[in-house]
Amino acid sequence: MAETRRLAPGRLVLASHNAGKLRELSALLAPHGIEVVSAAELDLPEPEETGTTFEENSAIKALAAAEATGLPALADDSGVMIAALGGAPGVYTADWAITPAGRDYAAAMARVAEEAEGSDDRRAAFVSVLALAWPDGHVQHYHGRSDGNWVYPPRGTGGFGYDPIFVPEGDTRTYGEMTPEEKARTNHRARAFARFAQEALKE
């Protein structure tokens, strides 16, 4: 079995440049009394996400930040999988939002509706893989998933990214229509975080 490490008290780098993720992960870490600094705040370069899986890409991001800072680092690689599209955009979820003028999530959500037109299969799932990396190259992964359905047009202004088109199982509202606390009850990142907390933060 691979070695399982716990985080020692001290600073942790959040290896993300996504403000929405940073808000969610900071809120989840707050009760644990860990001092958090983000890759965005430290002006660390955004590594190229050259992997073909969430595991590979989260490790690339966490290792780059851990090696650059000499501190443990936590990264999230995530995406939405649309059943009618055979699981796309999946690992390429962020790429669907890239335009010459920057990220355009309204266009990315419209593309989901366009490409899935004609299918009545509305199933969708968000997936998050967290990677916790140390400067010596050790990495631990934690998985979380939120099953639900996609809707179009988008609803709500909360959250970020594809939240306005995703309705989690057991609810009728999109993540865009929820408060951060409500989204945290079922979302993929919070579920992956719970596993991370149980294994890597337990006293």
Residues found near Mg ion in the complex (CB under 5 A): 94
Restricting to residues 53-82, name those near ligand Y43 by CB under 6 A.
61, 76-79
Is 163 a binder of ligand Y43 (CB under 6 A)? Answer: yes
Residue 185: Cβ within 10 Å count: 14
The CB-of-3 to ligand Y43 minimum distance in angstroms stands at 25
Q: How far is it, in rounded angstroms, from Cα 66 to Cα 178? A: 33
**What angle, 0 to 180 degrees and rounded to 10, lies between the N-to-C axes of helices 188-196 and 19-29?**
40
The verdict on whether 77 is a catalytic residue reads: yes
Of the residues 76, 77, 95, 104, which is catalytic? 77
The CB-of-36 to ligand Y43 minimum distance in angstroms stands at 14
Q: How far is it, in rounded angstroms, from Cα 23 to Cα 98? A: 22
How do strand 139-150 and strand 35-38 relate by DSSP bridges? Answer: unpaired
By a kind-dependent CB cut-off of 5 to 8 A, residue 72 interacts, out of ligand Y43, Mg ion, none, with: none
The CB-of-58 to ligand Y43 minimum distance in angstroms stands at 8
Query: For Mg ion, which is the closer residue by CB, 79 or 168?
Result: 79
Has 105 been labeled as part of a binding site? no
Query: For ligand Y43, which is the closer residue by CB, 134 or 162?
Result: 162
Give me the active site residues, please: 77
Q: Applying CB under 6 A, which residues contact ligand Y43?
A: 16-18, 21, 49, 61, 76-79, 93-94, 97, 126, 159-163, 175, 187, 189
Q: List binding-site positions for Mg(2+).
A: 48, 77
